[in-house]
Structure formats: structure tokens, C-alpha cells
A and B are shown apart, each in its own frame.
Chain A
């Protein structure tokens, strides 16, 4: 069976390098730190199991983000979460501005929040988002535009000059 690179150790290194970023993305989508660890483990387990079938159509980083997003969205659908609760676990140490951003993200819809989390938190540009979300670049740009517009509206309503 094909293994990533040469050994299991390499995958472990990849796991260590990406764990926090993946967990952060999952928190961004699910808004729950409690489930994020379990879902992050799930995402890496799926990646490890699916490695023999990894077609090199994208980088491994892009691929693990795709898996993580799917795992997080599946979790949301399974738990039928329609109303978001503020992410208190990570908001505690944030500044008032940081808390406002978190709360604004809570108010946004799943798609808008997902693209903003990937863009702001992980620093992905349109070209990378296109690969991760498997949508055309034009769609990425328009979704990003619309999501930013909504975020700004919420932040303006909270009294921040953005």
C-alpha cells in the first residue's frame, strides 16, 4: 500500500505541522472547540486512510483542508445546527474587537463564515480557495465579496468603523 513519502513518521510530522490550522478551521466552521478536537482527529484519520488514493491533483495541504471542511460540514448537517451560539471558549482572551469579529462570524451563514475563516484565519487567497472549495475563482471572489460585505455590515452595527 502506498504511504505518504517514505514513512509513517512523515505523516506524523505533517500532522503536527497542520493540526492547529485544521482545528482552527474546524472551530471556525462548527463554532465549537469541544467537538473540534474529535473532528480534527477524524479529518486526519480520513486523510491517512485515503492516502493511497490521493491523486496529487492538489497539494496535501489543500487536500487535508478539503477533508476537514467536509468533516465539519457533515457534523453540522448531522447535528442540524441552525442557530449558532457564541464561541465563548476562544473569545475569552480576545480583545473587544476580536470578540466582535467572533460574534459577527457567529451571525453569518455557513458558506460566508467558511470562506471568511479560510481567508482571514488561514490567509488563503482566491487561487487557493478555488482548489480547496472546488469552485471557480470567479465564484470564490463573488462569495468573498458578499461575505465581507455582510461582515462589515454587522461590525458597523456594533459600532466599529470598518
Chain B
């Protein structure tokens, strides 16, 4: 069809004013929706790093727990000892 009407197409397009196509409009999601999706994605990525098996972050958390435990023990011990002062 294109070849058959090539001459006609050229003739018409040369002689009519053609308005340039404008950008197409699509419905944009609201900012609130975008923020929510972004937050969810961020949460998913962080969760993956934390809970992934053998994650270095898991070790770090475990170490922190041990340290906290030791510290708490020491504080308790100090409190107990202070009673005898």
C-alpha cells in the first residue's frame, strides 16, 4: 500500500500544514504513591542484607548483642558489689 500511494502521500503531506505531535499524556501516579513504593523497595533491600544467610550484618548484630550482654552483666555485677560497700 505504501508504494502504491507514495506519490499521493507526498503530494498531500507537502501541501497541508501538519501540526507537530505533542507529548503524549499518561496518568502519573501521585507523589504519595511514588514515596510509598520507594519506601517499600528500600525496606526490601535493607531486609535482604540483614536477613540473608551468612550476611556480615547478621554477624555484626550478633557481636553487638554479645557485647551488650557482657556490658549488662558487668553493670549488674557492679550494682551487686556496691551493695556491700
* Residue ranges of A at the interface with B (Cβ–Cβ < 8 Å): 4-6, 14, 17-18, 20-21, 24, 54, 56, 59-61, 94-95, 97-98, 101, 120-123, 141, 144-145, 148, 151-152, 155, 160-162
Interface residues of chain B, those whose CB is within 8 Å of chain A, are: 1, 5, 7-9, 11-16, 18-19, 21-28, 30-31
Q: How far is the CB of B28 from chain A (nearest CB, A)?
A: 5
Most central of B9, B16, B23 by chain A CB within 10 Å: B16
- How far, in Å, is B13 (CB) from chain A's closest CB? 7
Bound Cα distance from A121 to B26, whole angstroms: 22
Complex contact A97–B27 (CB within 8 A): no
Question: Which 6 pairs across A and B sit closest by C-beta, in order of nearness?
Answer: A97-B15, A60-B25, A17-B22, A98-B15, A162-B8, A162-B11
For B1, give the chain A residue with the smallest CB separation. Answer: A145
Closest to A95 in B: B15
Contact at B30–A59, with CB atoms within 8 Å? no
Closest chain B CB from A154 CB (angstroms): 11
A114–chain B nearest beta-carbon distance, Å: 15
23 A-B residue pairs with CB within 8 Å? A17-B22, A17-B25, A54-B27, A60-B26, A95-B15, A97-B11, A97-B14, A98-B16, A101-B15, A120-B9, A120-B12, A120-B13, A121-B16, A121-B18, A121-B19, A122-B19, A122-B21, A148-B1, A148-B5, A152-B5, A155-B8, A162-B7, A162-B8
Report the Cα distance A145→B9, complex, angstroms: 12
Cβ contact within 8 Å between B30 and A123 = no
